[in-house]
Amino acid sequence: MTRLQLSTRSHDQGWVTSPDDGAWSWFELSIMPNANSTEIKKDKDGLELSWRSHVNRLAKDTYARYFGYEFDQNSKLFQSLQVRESFRLS
Protein backbone atom coordinates (compact mmCIF):
# COMPACT_ATOMS: atom_id res chain seq x y z
CA MET A 1 0.00 0.00 0.00
CA THR A 2 1.28 3.47 -0.89
CA ARG A 3 1.47 6.07 1.89
CA LEU A 4 3.04 9.48 2.35
CA GLN A 5 3.81 11.14 5.67
CA LEU A 6 6.01 14.14 6.36
CA SER A 7 8.19 14.01 9.44
CA THR A 8 10.40 16.82 10.60
CA ARG A 9 12.48 18.02 13.48
CA SER A 10 11.38 21.61 13.97
CA HIS A 11 9.97 24.20 16.37
CA ASP A 12 7.69 27.22 16.41
CA GLN A 13 9.53 30.19 14.90
CA GLY A 14 7.82 32.64 17.25
CA TRP A 15 6.23 35.98 16.45
CA VAL A 16 6.66 37.13 12.85
CA THR A 17 6.61 40.85 12.10
CA SER A 18 6.49 40.28 8.33
CA PRO A 19 4.19 37.34 7.43
CA ASP A 20 5.13 37.72 3.74
CA ASP A 21 8.62 36.44 4.55
CA GLY A 22 7.12 32.94 4.60
CA ALA A 23 8.43 31.55 7.90
CA TRP A 24 5.63 29.49 9.38
CA SER A 25 5.05 26.83 12.02
CA TRP A 26 3.52 24.29 9.67
CA PHE A 27 4.21 22.62 6.36
CA GLU A 28 1.96 22.35 3.34
CA LEU A 29 1.97 19.72 0.63
CA SER A 30 0.72 21.09 -2.69
CA ILE A 31 0.29 19.81 -6.21
CA MET A 32 1.62 22.14 -8.88
CA PRO A 33 0.61 21.97 -12.57
CA ASN A 34 4.27 21.63 -13.62
CA ALA A 35 7.82 22.14 -12.36
CA ASN A 36 7.85 25.85 -13.31
CA SER A 37 4.49 26.78 -11.75
CA THR A 38 4.12 29.39 -9.07
CA GLU A 39 0.38 28.76 -8.62
CA ILE A 40 -1.11 25.69 -6.91
CA LYS A 41 -3.15 23.38 -9.13
CA LYS A 42 -6.93 23.50 -8.55
CA ASP A 43 -9.49 20.70 -8.61
CA LYS A 44 -12.64 20.67 -10.76
CA ASP A 45 -14.44 22.77 -8.10
CA GLY A 46 -11.71 25.44 -8.13
CA LEU A 47 -10.21 24.46 -4.77
CA GLU A 48 -6.43 24.46 -4.39
CA LEU A 49 -4.83 21.01 -4.15
CA SER A 50 -2.91 21.80 -0.97
CA TRP A 51 -2.92 20.19 2.47
CA ARG A 52 -1.46 21.25 5.79
CA SER A 53 0.75 18.41 6.93
CA HIS A 54 1.12 19.35 10.60
CA VAL A 55 1.67 22.25 12.94
CA ASN A 56 4.45 22.82 15.42
CA ARG A 57 3.50 23.19 19.04
CA LEU A 58 3.13 26.95 19.59
CA ALA A 59 5.47 28.82 21.94
CA LYS A 60 7.82 25.85 22.17
CA ASP A 61 11.30 27.04 21.25
CA THR A 62 13.05 23.67 21.50
CA TYR A 63 13.17 21.26 18.60
CA ALA A 64 10.85 18.27 18.57
CA ARG A 65 10.06 15.47 16.10
CA TYR A 66 6.67 15.94 14.41
CA PHE A 67 4.80 13.48 12.24
CA GLY A 68 2.23 14.89 9.86
CA TYR A 69 -1.00 13.48 8.55
CA GLU A 70 -0.61 10.12 6.81
CA PHE A 71 -1.92 10.26 3.25
CA ASP A 72 -2.88 6.90 1.78
CA GLN A 73 -3.80 5.90 -1.77
CA ASN A 74 -7.46 6.79 -1.12
CA SER A 75 -6.63 10.39 -0.16
CA LYS A 76 -7.47 13.28 -2.46
CA LEU A 77 -3.76 14.08 -2.64
CA PHE A 78 -2.93 10.76 -4.31
CA GLN A 79 -6.12 10.71 -6.38
CA SER A 80 -5.18 14.13 -7.80
CA LEU A 81 -1.67 13.18 -8.90
CA GLN A 82 -0.87 12.39 -12.51
CA VAL A 83 1.95 10.05 -13.39
CA ARG A 84 4.16 11.38 -16.17
CA GLU A 85 6.88 9.57 -18.00
CA SER A 86 9.79 11.98 -17.70
CA PHE A 87 12.39 9.84 -19.43
CA ARG A 88 12.73 6.47 -21.01
CA LEU A 89 15.44 3.95 -20.20
CA SER A 90 16.96 2.26 -23.26
pLDDT 10s digits, 1-32 = 788 888 888 777 777 676 666 556 677 889 99
pLDDT tens per residue, range 36-57: 999 999 999 999 999 887 777 7
Q: Where are the domains of the chain?
A: 3-75
The one-letter amino acid code at 18 reads S
Return the pLDDT at 46: 94
With helix as H, strand as E and coil as C, how does the chain read?
CCEEEEEEEECCCCCCCCHHHCCCCEEEEECCCCCCCCCCCECCCCCECEEEEEECCCCCCCCEEEEEEEEECCCHHHHCCCCCCCCCCC
Distance, CA of 51 to CA of 77 (rounded, Å): 8
pTM over 0.85: no
